[in-house]
Amino acid sequence: MVDVLLNTEDVVVLGPPETIDVLVDIGPQGTRGSKFIVGSGEPNAQTSSGTLLGQTLILNDMYIDVSPGQDYGYLYQYVSQPGGNTWVQVLHMNPAIYSAVETISFSSGAGSITIPISNIVTVSGSPLTASNFNVQFQIEGANPIASSMEIPALAGAGTNLVINFDAVQYSGGSWSALTGNKTVHLFISIV
């Protein structure tokens, strides 16, 4: 036999409300997101009382060093560490890179090319010197080629990068100075 636990003649059917209002334009303003700051030089030396270059800092702000030198192109993040908030290097962004295939005229083994520095990098802060450029090159040829290059001191404000090449080729059992137009593959970065 089965016991009756509930016995009713009424049935109630429930459903959702006719309308739903969602308000998105009220409430307190949240904390701003990370701010990206660009400057010349290491940021810890420039940070004073939680500000950098007139910007009030909060944790996780980012800083990009655009000053030529060993820290050029580093991305820093403002983080909390024992002893206080500080900037730490988190990423070395791709350095300024220039690549091209150029035709260079060689005479008695010597050739030269002049490249506007603005084609390689936009400079702000400290001026560039010849030692800031890393040049890799390859001279096309059917015969083995031995070559070297030099970058003379940048003249004036350093608006142009001059690269001087010296090259010889091995042909017929002897070395001779490279002459004529030669295709040169260039890859230049800032260090």
Q: Which pLDDT belongs to residue 190?
A: 85
Domain ranges of the chain: 36-92, 97-190
CATH number of this structure's domain 97-190: 2.60.40
161-191 CB burial, b ≥16 within 10 A, e <16: bebebbbbbeeeeeeeebeeebebebebbbe
Point out the least confidently predicted range of 27-31, 62-66, 171-175: 27-31
Split at pLDDT 50, 70, 90, the class of 124 is: low
- pLDDT score at 48: 87
Specify whether the backbone of 100 is left (phi greater than 0), alpha (psi in -120 to 50) or beta. beta
pLDDT band at 1 (very low <50, low <70, confident <90, very high): low
Is pTM beyond 0.85 here?
A: no
Torsion sign over Cα 184, 185, 189, 191:
negative
Longest dimension (CA), the chain: 117
Per the DSSP assignment, residues forming a β-bridge with 23 are: none
The two three-digit tokens of residue 169, written as one number: 């080729």
94 pLDDT band (50/70/90 cuts)?
low
d(CA 66, CA 35): 16
Q: How many percent of the chain have pLDDT more than 90?
A: 50
- How much is the average pLDDT of 105-130? 85
What is the 3-class SS of 132-182, one letter each residue? HEEEEEEECCCCCEEEEEECCCCCCCCCEEEEEEEEEEEECCEEEECCEEE
What integer pLDDT is reported at residue 35 of this predicted model?
A: 92
**Which DSSP letter does residue 54 get?**
T
123 band by pLDDT with thresholds 50, 70 and 90 = low
Number of C-beta neighbours around residue 112 at 10 A:
14
